[in-house]
Amino acid sequence: MRAGLIVQARNGSTRFPKKMLTQIAGKRAIEWVLSRAGKVKADLKVLATTYLEEDNSFCQIARDFGWEVLKGDPSDVLSRYAQAVRFYELSTVIRITGDCPLIDPRLIEMAFDKFMEEKADYLSLVGIIDGFDVEVMSGDAILLADKRAKLPSEREHVSPYIRKSKRTKKVFFKPFEEDLSYIHLSLDYPEDARVIERIIEALNYKEDFSYQEVVALIKERPELLERKEHIVVNEGYLKSLEEDREFIRKLKGKPLKLENSLKHFEKTKRLIPNCSQTFSKSYLQFSVGASPLFVKEGKGCELTDLDDNRYIDYTMGLGACLLGYAFEPVLEKVKKELERGTVFTLPSYLETQLAELLVELVPCAEKVRFGKNGSDVTSAAVRLARAYTGRDLIASCGYHGWQDWYIGTTTRNKGVPEAVQKLTLTFEYNNIESLRRLFEEYPDQIACVIMEPVGVEEPKEGFLQKVKELTHKHGALLIFDEVVTGFRFSLGGAQEFFGVEPDLACFGKAMANGMPVSAVVGRAELMGLFEEVFFSFTFGGETASIVSAIATVEYIKDHSVIPYIWEQGRKLKEGIQKLIEEKELEDLVFVKGYPVRFLLDFYGDKALKLKTLFQQECAKRGVLFTGSHNMALPHTDQIIEKTLEVYDRVLDIIKYALEYDMVEELIEGRLLEPVFRRM
């Protein structure tokens, strides 16, 4: 344990040049500071100045008083303190600024003793006259601040980062009952020197006067404090806060070139509602004017927009492209199939081949039917359950597509008859009682429970098994919507991963690496009803997609793709979490979900604004951010490293923009909108 008393001083003050060499009552200002502070019993006393030639005059003065001298960066005071901590191996630092000629060694020792007693990381005296300021900090806190502090105010004034940190134990010690912090006796202007000199003269040039003696004096003779001009207290710090704001503005990236994208947007608005076939891909989810709106091509995990900007993508076609865009081993087989034709008068033999593969891999699969979208097969499964049970009501949890039976439960329910809306009930994930209440309220009326086995929230211990038991107890069927989880959590889907087998399951998205195909699978006795239940459309067995699904699933199986994306997802998720913790943003930013598919989002009433700003600044740096991180084969270590570098810089912008109330000022485009709003 080694404590060091460090006085910082320089001659380069803009308000009062060479103030530390100013004569006050027969001594230079710096001599008053060094002689009075020097009475403190510390292991080491250091004058921290700069390496500028104009500050060399301090060095000999300090040495004459028996002080060590350390020279450092003139514009980075924090780095000087960190340099002292490392060089002198200090566990504790007592910080005194050179503009405190009246500093009282008794106050310094009082502050140090309280710091040690409280086992604090940081302590400052409060309620005392400005000019008697003392701060005590741990060496570790200074080193951490030096590593992470970036704002001008944090670098110039040493302690702001430590004071703002949620990780440090801070003590604001008021040694006296009366608050006199409004009185200004620090040396910031030439007139301050005259006031300080009058006080020393009134004390009969006594060298060892105390803080209390100064207080008693100015109460007895308040005219000693009279100045011709008004003094702005802490003007230097206030100025650095303005510098902070300019620094934050400069953190923003250069605006993207989006002329072609915006021109195409105006054209598309006249032709296509929402400018997209999918709400999640529409301009509502991308900041118009600051983010790309249309894609030209994709390869691996990179997209190119209409203005030839390139982006790392983690949404991966809403999770469909597990192997990456335009994945050659799959493309080769699709190209060959295209040459043979894709839709025929008779079913293709390839449908059987894919069905065999799914029956082999998926625990609940004994028979299979194909669709094109997730909505096709979830709706087919619901219709099948109603046919099997003779009941009408559905209990659902999660997102299940655009069809009336489900979308009627959301805020996007326009056009859905009220009678249809009433047929679907909802329950809360991880709340088995919410499902139990539905069965009790609607006895013998619920045909099935359809749910996503997992979203971004992990199932509680035994939750999925309890859902299955409760569902079967009441004579209903259990349907797992694995459109998202299938071939991502494991080859057999989330049902294999969690060890809970449903009656029916629905797959899509990643099954064909971007080609349109989906599947409903389940027990043979249930699936046999499809010979009577109408589920039929022209493109259900389109062979290019069937071949793509076969090639995709076989590649995933043969090349251990799923363990790889789990590992890469862990690296990215843990890397993001580390950044959040380092920047102390846990109350603002969160990552949630399993490594193969997780979400980065924001808390609070400014969440959408923060997401808009985050997307904007990520796009400028080559990462297309939507919040979702659907890990895929092309997300290599190099891609993850670059992503974390971008997130590192952009999280700084988010942190400072919120701290300085600059979020709206920094947003360049249109605010994002949620696809669904709260009911």
Residues with a known catalytic role = 399, 481, 509
Q: How many angstroms separate the CA atoms of 361 and 363, rounded?
A: 6
Say what the alpha-carbon torsion angle 174, 175, 181, 183 is, to the nearest 10 degrees: 180
Question: What six digits make up the tokens of 674?
Answer: 């949620």
CA angle 366, 555, 500 (to 5 degrees): 40
Among 506, 534, 547, CA closest to 343: 547
- Give the list of residues 6+ apart from residue 518 with CB closer than 8 angstroms, or none: 370, 371, 372, 373, 374, 376, 377, 483, 506, 507, 508, 511
Residue with tokens 């605010």: 671
CA contacts within 13 A on the Cβ side of 210:
7
Assess contact for 643 and 315: CB atoms under 8 A.
no
The Cα-based distances of 148 to 117, 151, 317, 652 in angstroms read 28, 10, 36, 10
Q: Among all chains, which residue has been given the structure tokens 């709260």?
A: 678
Cβ neighbours of 567 (radius 10 Å):
13
- Dist CA 549 CA 74 (whole Å): 64
CA angle 24, 29, 32 (to 5 degrees): 95
Residue 638, helix vs strand vs coil: helix
DSSP secondary structure, 341-402, as one string: -S--SS--THHHHHHHHHHHH-TT-SEEEEESSHHHHHHHHHHHHHHHH---EEEEES---S
Q: What is the rounded CA–CA span in Å between residue 516 and residue 355?
A: 16
CA–CA distances in Å: residue 154 to residues 94, 135, 226, 331, 539: 17, 15, 33, 54, 63
- Contact status, residue 6 vs residue 94, Cβ threshold 8 Å: yes
